[in-house]
Every structure is written in structure tokens, then in C-alpha cells.
Structure 1
Amino acid sequence: MTSPLLTARVHRSGMVLSAAVTLLAAAVWAAHHGVQAAHYGQQTGSRLAAVWGITFLLLLVQTLMYHCERTRRPSARARRQLDALHVAVLMPVYNEDDGYLRLGLESMLAQTRRPDSVHVVDDGSTSGDYAQVHAWWTRAAAVAGIATTWQRTLNSGKRHAQAAAVRVSPDADVYITVDSDSCLAPNAIEEVLLPFSRPRVQSVAGVVLATNHRTNLLTRITDLWFVTGQLTDRSALSAMGSVLVNSGPLAAYRADVIRDNLDSYLNETFMGRPVMFSDDSLLTLYALLRGRTVQQPSAVVFTALPERAKHFRKMYLRWMRGSTIRSLWRMRYLPVTGWAYWAQLIRWFQVALSTAVLGWLLIFEPVRYGTTPPASFLIVPILIGWAQALRYLGVIRSDERIRARAATWLLMPIAVIGSWTILRAMRWYGMATCARTEWGTRQNGAEVALDTEPAPAVVLPDDDTVRIPRAPLAKLLDPDTEKTLTIALPIR
């Protein structure tokens, strides 16, 4: 039986349902808060009513926008032009788990549109040299007709590792950036290239799902929060061709976007310090300055999420520090006539407004006037969160039944409360400490590991299929799925 690695798709009927429910919940939310505002007195009530009205309009606009996002489907002629492009994959590696690294490389072999070349750069890992993975991949790539290079460099950071890969692929028309734990769905490369049929498109973001989302409560909530954000906030921006941040596990760029900006990419500084993170958002900014940046919902990649709170804290603080620096650059360099500039401004306005209102209702009002908001002030935003997270339920995964995803969807109250409290505090702390520009994770080795079993190298039988050993894929599959994996691999 022929079976893919891991697959997922965004279901259209789920999108329509999420639109209807979100708009209804938003209307109820606005009406409720408008009525409750009257209980705070004339002056305070009028101010709160204005806040709820503005917030409702922003939510309404975002909902309409993210349902306007469409998967690009070019003509047959455009597809032939895309097929002629030289596609190079850039994969930096640093202290990665061998199992996840091999899993990602295996997924390259199973692509419906294989990359022309894959360039792996070991950025001076201290936890191992990946000798077995290197030897296996060199043989497997040769059998599959994929040109490949594998370099080991002194530890200089992810950007320098990517640059080393760029320098050995001067013929590339499109660069696809992945992480060392990225496991591409079988059609990911084919799908992520489709928007490039439009000349103005300069970069394309894929949709990121978690490989290890069933590990514990933290990974489930993170996957719920992250996927919902991509299919609401990023989808809304994509509809306007103004995606602000591509995700590291899967993004595609026209080659000149990276080549022409390589020097500034490697030498970015903030407050006199070299910036080691926020690489994906900087590449996206370069693309925005040249044209449109979009998301392709049908291009899916799986990645490993933090499984411990300490690891998550480091990752999220790095994101928030990078977001602060990148926001300043967007305000400085993006044209005020573009949607991306105003989207960035509105985003920070929402953060400031929501923080101010939360502080007013929970601190100032009780202390100054002795009034406290009713419990429904918490219940209604949770309903909004559940409504938006219907987009999460609209993602159909090959390794998970809908009832399991529904169980994760029910965790949205925890995600909402955590976003209001823990993540909000971490956001502001990250902003205050944005001068700390070091990477901060994997210094002592891989922080997430994939259990593997010893397995023989990939072989190519006479029927032109690659039989992938059960490890490391077996851990990822649903117990009810087929135990033997056979992946069709046409030969060029």
C-alpha cells in the first residue's frame, strides 16, 4: 500500500462555518460590552463603548479579510514555467536531534515536485556530527536525482549558515528556507511555488503544524494558538499581499530577494549589537519592499514545538524581542501608502489598547471606584476564541482523528487566559529587553527529540519506489494507520 508521510489540508466548509460563527460571536461580544459599559457611569461608559466599537470593527474587518484568502491555482502554462525554475532548499542545522533531521530529509524524497537541490549546513554543532544521517542522505539524494551539498562551518548563527548555502547555489531561481526539524507534507514544495506564477509575488509562507502536538498540554495549546493565528491574522494579511512574517519551517523567496540583500542580512545590528534572531521576518521585509508577500494555505509543513515551559519561554521571548526590532524597521522602511505599514500600526495599536483596557478594568476601576467587571467579560472573549479556532478544526490531518482535534479545540479557554496574562507579560518584557539579541536556545544540544529505531538505508527497488523504514515515522502515525510505509518516488 502506498502512503504519504504526514499530510494535512484546510477544509473549505470549515472556513465558511468559522466565518459565520465568528461574525455572530463578534456581534454578540460588541453588543454585550456596549451594554455593560453603561454601568460604569457616563464618562467611563462612553469611553469603554468607544473602545468596544473600535475593537469590534477591527475584528469584523479581520474576519472578512482572512476568509478572502484563496489558494493560488495557476494555468497549465504557468505551471510549466514553475516546473522550469531551479528550486534550492536551504537547511541550516545546529544541535538538532538526528531523528528529526532525518525525518525532514526523508520528506524531501517524497515530494510531488522535488527540489532541484538541497543544501545542508551544519553550523558548528556541539552535540554530534550527524555522520550516519549525512552518509544516508548523500546516497538517497543521488538516487532521487536531487543535487546536494553538506557543509560544516564554524558556529556563526543561522543567517551565516543560510548564506553558506546560498553561495553554493548560484543558479537557484527560488530559495526555500526550512528548519532542521521541518517535515514537509508530500505536496508542500509544489504548492508553495504556485503563487510565484504572479510576477509581483516575492515570498510565500507555508502553514506550520506541530509534529509533536500530542506530547503534552503545552504542545497541544501551542499548536492550537499557533495554527489559529496563522489562519486568522496571517491569512488576513495574505489577502492583501502583506504578510509581515514568514515562518522558518517553510517559506519560499525569489532568489534575488535573498542574494541582493545578503550583506545587510548578515550584518544587521540593533543598539550596536549583531542581531542573531528574527531572520524570517527580515527576509519577509526584504520581500515586502519589492512586492507582494502571501501565504499558501495548501503548503503544509510539520515542525517540533517546545515540550517544556523553559524551552517555550526562551522561544517566545526571542520572538517578542525580534518582533520589537522588526516593527521599528517596518515603520522606518515600509511605504506609508502600502497596507503592510498600516497593518503593522494597527497591530501595535491593538496591543496597547487591549493592555490599557485590561489594566483599567482589573486595577484602576476596582481601586478608584470599587467596581469590578462581571464574569461575562471573560466568557465572551473565550467564545470569540472558540469561534476563531474553528479554523483549527478545519485543518484535516492524516495522523489525527477529528475527535482528537476537537478535544484540543476545547482547550481554547486556557489559551485565551494564557494569552491575556502570561504571554502579555512576556511580550512587554521582551520589548523591554529587545537589546538582548542572542539566539538563546539549543546551546546544550537538542531540546526536543524524536525516538527512533535502528533502520537500514533507503534502497530503490525495481518498481521505482523508496521504502522508508518505520523509524522515525512510526511515532508520528496514528495507531490505526498502515504500519508499512511505501512512498512513490518517480525518477527524473
Structure 2
Amino acid sequence: MTSHPALTARVHRSGTVLAAAITLVAAALWAAHHGITAATYGDETGSRLAAVWAITFLLLLSQTLMYHCERPRRISARGRRQLDALNVAVLLPVYNEDPGYLRLGLQSFLDQTRRPTSVHVVDDGSTSTDYAQVRAWWLRAAREAGIRTTWQRTPNAGKRHAQATGVYASPDADIYVTVDSDSCLAPNALAELLVPFARARVQSVAGIVLATNHRTNLLTRVTDLWFTTGQLTDRSALSAMGAVLVNSGPLAAYRAPVVRDNLESYLGETFLGRPVAFSDDSLLTLYALLRGRTVQQPSAIVFTALPEKASHFARMYMRWMRGSTIRSVWRMRYLPVTGYAYWAHLLRWFQVALSTAVLGWLLVVEPVRYGNLPPASFLVVPFLIGQAQALRYLGVIRSDERMRQRAVTWLLMPLAVAGSWTLLRAMRWWGVATCARTGWGTRQNGAEVALAPAADPRPVQPQAQLASR
């Protein structure tokens, strides 16, 4: 198999990005004020809109200040030696994954500047292949690299049970690292992911997820832009307070007791009498929140394959929204009301409800009941806010992409904003209404995204191929 240059990335902090974000938010505020003033609405309606915009911008301002307070954690040489002594076990469940992506991820463990102590691969009854070639290569390569490893095939029981099989195989682990079968870690990802654990109160750490196939088509470009921006704004703001609500599946780490002590409830979760197969990452994060701080490490980067078809994306997003609804019930029940995470969670739902109500009011109630068209600010403000937040996307420096290429993707933010305000909003509420559908729903017929084989060993990198030496 032909190898490719290792893919790397870093999140660049820039005062220019902050200044530009503040400028665009100020412009959005001015546009809102101008639109309300120029509209034909009466004083009562104008006052209502002014109140809504004021609340929105106060929330945006506080979030902007908070996510710029996030810093990658650093430690001393002594602290690094203590972290190097930790037993770190990687849990890698596999189900109908493309063999190319699976090997890509396994190779990235070998290329780590701080290698894991052990890697536990569990094939959860895949029906598309038995991975015989990848398995033989990995067992040999891991042994030569000094990484303890197991590779087990079990009857299909779901991702959580596959992870649990890995937990049972590593009872001496200090840290569990959860990854997906298409995760490809940057060379320093594991070393950086462990750094926050130098603080005893930190119970879980999330990595930053970027796309391997982000230039495949318009869908992957916009999804990468939307997803990366969300991690570097919303989740960064929560991280600054030690209250990350959801870690990403492609890369996260937990203190071993967080996983072991809750394994029975993790495997046996039910909702409305039905077993829950998804939302595993958010449940592990909730367990961690109940014990201490949950943070994000912006310098720990992982690459993953995004959906390349609309149907695949829709199934993934609906799974997320149904899981988010279920997890919200548990957060309201179990999180202490004295903690920041509890109120951050409620505030998020308030923002969703408020924005949905405003959308319905301006597009339906005002035209039908009062004969007023939406104000000009409605057509301007969301897009200015989106472009301002997406400046964080430009702060990600990738080894496989020049800045002008990322700038082109940044210009697509209006598509992401329009989609989130319409289609994704409708899907979110449909997910709330159908949250009792707790099945996984993807890869039932095999891999949905495949890594094309390399055509040339020279350093020419096809857009969908990002691998490591």
C-alpha cells in the first residue's frame, strides 16, 4: 500500500481574527438597528424586535469573549514525564468501515509522538468484510512498535458493547481514549490530548475534529466549515468554563474510573423503555461532568470522513438530534443546578426556542396578521454573524491546504447559515418529536465513505486522501 505524507494542523490564535469578528458583530448590530428603524412596523412590534436583537447580541458577545479565553493547556517537563507514565488505552470499535480509512487510522497510532500503551480493536460483527489483511498488518506493526494490542470480533451488539469489550481487555488503563474507525490522528494529537489531565479536576478532554475529505464536494466543504466553526466557538466557550457538554466521537479521552464505574449504566441505558444505541459520547461526557471539569484541547487534532451524500448526512444529523434530546433529559435530571454546565445547557435550548419563534413570527405572523414583510435586518444579521464566527475556521492551518483555499470555503458560510436556519432547524425539532427512535441507522449495508487508493507514490495528494507515513 502506497503511503502519503502525514496530515497535520494547528489552531492559530490571532488578534486580527478577534478584531475582525468584533467588527462584523458590530456591523450586524448596526444592521439590526437600521432595519428595525426603517421598517414599517409600529412601535409595539419594533420594541419586541429590538428586545430580541438585544438579547441575541448579549448572548453572542458573552460567547465571543468566552471562546477567546480558551487556551491550549501547557505543562512543565516534570508534568510531561508524569503523563508519559500513564497507561493509555485506545478503544476502537469497527462496524462496516472502509478498510482504507481503518488502516489510515491505525497507522496514525504508530506515528504518534507519544504512542498509546495499548490499542483494542473490536469488530462489532461487520458484514461487509473481515479485515483480514488490515488485521494481519496491524498485529505485526503494533508488536514491532511496542504497542500492546488486541483484535476481537464479536456478534453485532452496538458501539457501546464494542467499547466495553476493549475496556475489559485493559483493566489496568489510567486513561481511555475513544476514537472512531475512520479517525486519523495528527502526529502530536495523543500527546496534546493528555496535557489537561495534569490537573486533577479534569475528567475528560475533547479533541478538535477536522475532515479528511473536506474538498470532495460542496456538502463536505460546508459541513467541515459548519462543524469546525461550532467546535471553535460554542464548545470553546464551554471549555473555558470547564463545562464541555459533548465530546466528539473521533477523538476524546476520559479518566479510567469515569468509564469503568459507569459501565453498567452505559451499556444498559434506556429511554421510554427502549435501549439507546447512539449518543454514547455525550453520555460519557455527562459522567465526566458529574465528577469534575470537561475541557477541549485545541492542539489535539483528529481527521475524520464526513458524509459525502445528503442521505448519509441526514441520517447522521437525525441521530445527533435524537441523542441530544435524550441527553437533555438526563442533564436536567442529574447535573447540579449550582454548576455552570446546567445553566449553559438550558441557555442553549432557550436560544434554539427563541430563534425558532422569531423565525416563525417574522415569516408567518407579521405578514399574515399585520401585513408586514420581514425587516431588512432579518436578511443581513444572521449572515454577518455567521461570517464573523466562521473567522475561527480561517484560524485553522492545515498542511494540505493553502489559506486562499480555506478562504474560498469561508465564503460559503451563507449556505451553512441558510441551511441551519431552515432545513437543520426543522430536522432538530423532528428529532425532538421522534427521539424514541433509538436505533443507530447507518452503515447497515457497508461503508458509506471510502478512501480511494493512492495512484502515485510521489507527493501529489488527491483531495480525498489524507494518510500518514
TM-score computed with the length of structure 1 as normaliser: 0.92
Listed as ranges, the matches of 1:160-239 within 5 Å are 160-239=161-240
1:34 shift after superposition: 3.3
* Structure 2 residue aligned with 1:19: 18
Distance 1:357-1:153 versus aligned 2 partners, 3 A rule: same
Whole-angstrom distance in 2 between the partners of 1:470 and 1:381: 45
Whole-angstrom distance in 1 between the partners of 2:83 and 2:22: 38
Q: Which has the higher contact order (CA 8 A, sep 6+)?
A: 2
Report the secondary structure of 2:364's partner residue: helix
Q: Is the 8 A contact 1:121 1:161 kept in 2?
A: yes
Cα deviations across residues 12-70 of structure 1 (Å, max 9, x unaligned)? 12xx2232222222233233323433442122111111111111100000000000000
* Structure 2 residue aligned with 1:344: 345
Report the secondary structure of 1:380's partner residue: helix
Distance 1:62-1:52 versus aligned 2 partners, 3 A rule: same
Matched, 1:87 2:88: yes
1:453 shift after superposition: 5.3
Distance 1:486-1:43 versus aligned 2 partners, 3 A rule: closer
Cα deviations across residues 270-321 of structure 1 (Å, max 9, x unaligned)? 0000000000000000000000000000000000000000000000000000
Whole-angstrom distance in 1 between the partners of 2:459 and 2:144: 20
Q: Is the 8 A contact 2:451 2:464 kept in 1?
A: no
* Structure 2 residue aligned with 1:156: 157
Matched, 1:78 2:79: yes
Q: Is the 8 A contact 1:205 1:294 kept in 2?
A: yes
Aligned AA (2:390): A
Distance 1:470-1:192 versus aligned 2 partners, 3 A rule: farther
Cα deviations across residues 48-100 of structure 1 (Å, max 9, x unaligned)? 11111111100000000000000000111111110000000000000000000
* Structure 1 residue aligned with 2:444: 443
Distance 1:342-1:373 versus aligned 2 partners, 3 A rule: same
Matched, 1:399 2:430: no
1:164 shift after superposition: 0.3
Q: Which runs of 5+ in 1 are unaligned?
A: 455-468, 480-484, 488-492
Q: Which moved more, 1:22-31 or 1:283-292?
A: 22-31
TM-score computed with the length of structure 2 as normaliser: 0.96
Aligned AA (1:444): N
| Percent identity of paired positions between Structure 1 and Structure 2 | 76
1:477 shift after superposition: 8.2
Report the secondary structure of 2:422's partner residue: helix
Q: Is the 8 A contact 1:99 1:472 kept in 2?
A: no
Whole-angstrom distance in 1 between the partners of 2:399 and 2:426: 36
* Structure 1 residue aligned with 2:33: 34
Distance 1:330-1:422 versus aligned 2 partners, 3 A rule: same
1:119 shift after superposition: 0.3
Distance 1:428-1:148 versus aligned 2 partners, 3 A rule: same
Listed as ranges, the matches of 1:371-386 within 5 Å are 371-386=372-387
Whole-angstrom distance in 2 between the partners of 1:472 and 1:283: 40
Report the secondary structure of 2:59's partner residue: helix
Distance 1:130-1:3 versus aligned 2 partners, 3 A rule: closer
* Structure 1 residue aligned with 2:134: 133
Q: What is the root-mean-square deviation of aligned Cα atoms in Å? A: 1.9
Whole-angstrom distance in 1 between the partners of 2:439 and 2:460: 33
Whole-angstrom distance in 2 between the partners of 1:206 and 1:324: 23
* Structure 2 residue aligned with 1:300: 301
Whole-angstrom distance in 2 between the partners of 1:387 and 1:35: 19
Cα deviations across residues 187-237 of structure 1 (Å, max 9, x unaligned)? 000000000000000000000000000000000000000000000000000
Q: Which runs of 5+ in 2 are unaligned?
A: none
Whole-angstrom distance in 2 between the partners of 1:170 and 1:377: 55
Aligned AA (1:10): V
Aligned AA (2:13): R
* Structure 2 residue aligned with 1:252: 253
Aligned AA (2:334): Y
Whole-angstrom distance in 2 between the partners of 1:418 and 1:311: 16
Aligned AA (1:357): V
Aligned AA (1:17): T
Whole-angstrom distance in 1 between the partners of 2:242 and 2:454: 44
Cα deviations across residues 363-405 of structure 1 (Å, max 9, x unaligned)? 1000111111234422222121111111101100011111111
Distance 1:94-1:3 versus aligned 2 partners, 3 A rule: closer
* Structure 1 residue aligned with 2:329: 328
Aligned AA (1:98): P
Aligned AA (2:210): L
Q: Is the 8 A contact 2:258 2:287 kept in 1?
A: yes
* Structure 2 residue aligned with 1:458: none
* Structure 2 residue aligned with 1:264: 265
Whole-angstrom distance in 1 between the partners of 2:464 and 2:398: 10
Distance 1:130-1:425 versus aligned 2 partners, 3 A rule: same
Aligned AA (1:42): D
Aligned AA (1:105): L
Report the secondary structure of 1:12's partner residue: coil
Whole-angstrom distance in 1 between the partners of 2:119 and 2:210: 22
Q: Which moved more, 1:17-26 or 1:131-140?
A: 17-26
Whole-angstrom distance in 2 between the partners of 1:152 and 1:473: 36
Aligned AA (1:8): A
Q: Is the 8 A contact 1:207 1:300 kept in 2?
A: yes
* Structure 2 residue aligned with 1:62: 63
* Structure 1 residue aligned with 2:276: 275
Q: Is the 8 A contact 2:215 2:463 kept in 1?
A: no
Q: Is the 8 A contact 2:213 2:464 kept in 1?
A: no
Distance 1:304-1:298 versus aligned 2 partners, 3 A rule: same
Distance 1:261-1:306 versus aligned 2 partners, 3 A rule: same
Whole-angstrom distance in 2 between the partners of 1:10 and 1:378: 31
Aligned AA (1:430): G
Q: Is the 8 A contact 1:334 1:340 kept in 2?
A: yes
Listed as ranges, the matches of 1:34-53 within 5 Å are 34-38=33-37, 39=39, 40-53=41-54
* Structure 1 residue aligned with 2:356: 355
How many residues are treated as equivalent by the alignment?
Answer: 465
Q: Is the 8 A contact 2:8 2:398 kept in 1?
A: yes
